Amino acid sequence: MPVFDFKGAPADKTRAVLTYTVFSSDASEASPDQPILILNNSTHQWPHHAHGIFTNPSHRTSFEFDGENGIESADILKIDARFVSLLKWLGANRIPVRLSGENREGGYAVYRIREKAFGGGSKLSAEDGFLQYMIERLFSSPAPKNTEENQDAEISGDDMKITSIQTITDFLTCAGSTLPENIQVWARRNLAVAKSAEVSPEEKRHAQRALSTMLNIRWKSNYFDSIDPAEARRILDEELYGMEKVKQRVIETIIQINRTHTLPAYGILLAGPAGTGKSQIAYAVARILKLPWTTLDMSSINDPEQLTGSSRVYSNAKPGIIMEAFAAAGESNLVFIINELDKASAGKGSGNPADVLLTLLDNLGFTDNYMECMIPTGGVYPIATANDKSKISAPLMSRFAVIDIPDYTPEEKKVIFSRFALPKILRRMRMREEECILTPEALDAVIGRYRDTTGIRDLEQAAEHIAANALYQIETGHKTQVIYDAEMIHQLL
C-alpha cells in the first residue's frame, strides 16, 4: 500500500512572474512606433538584431539574449494583446528567434520576430514560414475585446476536455459515480478495450473516441426549476406579434413544468405555412427553458444512419447527428429543434429517417450504433416544425402536441411591416426612421403586393428593398428624407 509523506514538500510553490501589461492595437503591421512588444532596456541597450529565446511563461515573462558575455535577460514590459498566446507558445517550446527592434526611452521596441536555426545556421524556412503566417494572421485580426489578463483567475472546468486514456481513467476513478448506472458499466467495458493489447489499434481508437464523447457530456437530473410565466410572456411578445393561441399554449406548458418540475410527456409540433415564424417560436421556447438547443434539418437527412451513427466495424465509423448534438451541447438536458419534419423521406438507407426519432421522442432512451449504449433522453424537449401535417406518419404525430400556426391577416401584416420589419432594417442600415417614410397609401400598396403570399419573409425583403432604395437616393441625390407614395411603391416593387 503506497504511503505519501508530505513533510518534505516545499512550503510554497514558486509562482510565475508576470512582468508585462497588455495594450490594444488594430495596426495591420508593426513598426518601432507600433511594436509587437517592448523589452526592458534600462540596464542594457540591446542590438538592432538580437538572438535568443522567450522564457517559459510558467517561470517568468522575459527574453533571454545570446550576448557576448553569455545569456542576458530582459523582462517583457508590454505586449500587443493579439500576440500574447503566440509569445507563450514560443516560450513554452523554447523556439530560438531573432528579434528586430529599436532602443527607445520606454524600452526596446520589437517590430519583427523571425525563427532561426539551432547552432546559428541558416533559418529553418518551413518553420519560419509558419511563424510568419501566424504573425500575418494576427496582424489582420482585430484587437481582443478583453485585453486584461488576470493571472490569479481560476481555470474554468469547462475548458477541460477528457480525451486521453489517463484523463478518462482518472475521471472514472474520481467521478464515475456521477454517471447514469448503465453508462458506468459501459464506460468500464470500453476502457478495458481501449487499454487492451489483444484488440486492434482501430478498435482501441474507436473505444477511446466513444469514451471521450460520452464523458464530456454532463449528465444532469430530470428536475427543472420553476420558470417565471411573466418573463416567458415577455420573451414571446418580444419575438412574436399576435399569435395569442400559440403564446397561451406555450405558457400552459411552462405552468405544467412549474407544477411537476419535469418536462411534458410530449414535445411540440408547430405546423403552418412557410414564413410564419415557426422556427422563431422554437428558439423562443428554448430561451424560456434556459436550455442549450440544437437543430436537426430533416430535409437534408436521407439515411437513418446519419441519425443513429455507424457501426464500429467500419474504419470511418462515427457517432450519429443526435449523439453529436449531445456532445456539442455538453449536457444531457437540451431542446431538439427538428426542422421540416414533413420533408423527411426514405433515401439510400433502409427506412425513413423520421422513424428513427420515435425512440428519442418517447424519452425512454436513444441508442447510437457507434456508442453501443442507451443514451438517457429524459431531459430532451423536442420541438418540430412542418408545413404539411398530412405527410407525417401517424406514429410520429402521436408523439407531439400539435400547435397550428395560422397565416397572418392583411391587418397583422401591416402592423408587422410598419412596427417591426421596416424599423429593424433601418436600424441595421444605420438610418433614422424619418429618412424613410411611407404614406398610408404606400403601406397599403406594399401589403396588397404580397396579399396572396404566406408568411412575412416577402415583407421583410420588401422592407430591405425600400430602405436600400431610400439610402441610395439620400447618398446620391443629397436628400434628407424619402417619402414613398403608392405609385413609387408600385414602380419599386
User: 388 with 248, same domain?
Assistant: yes
CB 304 within 8 A of CB 356: yes
Is it the case that residue 79 has pLDDT exceeding 70? yes
- Give the CATH number, domain containing residue 327: 3.40.50.300
State pLDDT tens for residues 199-220.
999 999 999 999 999 998 888 8
Residue range(s) defining the domain that contains residue 386: 229-404
Q: How far apart, in whole angstroms, are the C-alpha atoms of residue 455 and residue 451? A: 10
Is residue 275 in some structural domain?
A: yes
User: 340 with 446, same domain?
Assistant: no
Q: What pLDDT is stored for residue 164 in this prediction?
A: 86
User: 253 with 286, same domain?
Assistant: yes
Is residue 372 in some structural domain?
A: yes
Q: How far apart, in whole angstroms, are the C-alpha atoms of residue 424 and residue 418? A: 10
28 three-state secondary structure:
coil
User: 246 with 369, same domain?
Assistant: yes
User: 459 with 425, same domain?
Assistant: yes
User: 305 with 247, same domain?
Assistant: yes
Number of independent structural domains in the chain: 4
Calculate the average pLDDT of the chain.
Answer: 84
User: 287 with 235, same domain?
Assistant: yes
End-of-domain residue from the set 139, 172, 187: 139
User: 99 with 29, same domain?
Assistant: yes
Residue identified by cell 481555470 is: 155
- Give the CATH number, domain containing residue 484: 1.10.8.60
> Residue 386 has which C-alpha cell?
412542418
Is residue 299 in some structural domain?
A: yes
Half-sphere exposure of 324 (CA within 13 A, CB side): 12
State pLDDT tens for residues 258-276.
999 998 888 899 998 888 8
User: 246 with 334, same domain?
Assistant: yes
Between 449 and 117, the higher pLDDT residue: 449
Query: pTM higher than 0.85 for the full model?
Result: no
Is residue 11 in some structural domain?
A: no
End-of-domain residue from the set 170, 193, 215: 215
Is residue 178 in some structural domain?
A: yes
User: 253 with 370, same domain?
Assistant: yes
Is it the case that residue 126 has pLDDT exceeding 60? no
User: 420 with 448, same domain?
Assistant: yes
DSSP string, 383-418: EEEES-GGGS-HHHHTTEEEEE-PPPPHHHHHHIII
- Share above pLDDT 70 across residues of the chain, in percent, rounded to a whole number: 89
Q: State the CB neighbour count (10 A cutoff) for residue 440.
A: 11
Q: Hey, what's the torsion of the CAs at 168, 171, 177, 182, to 10 degrees?
A: -10
DSSP 438: E
End-of-domain residue from the set 404, 439, 470: 404
Q: How far apart, in whole angstroms, are the C-alpha atoms of residue 102 and residue 30? A: 12
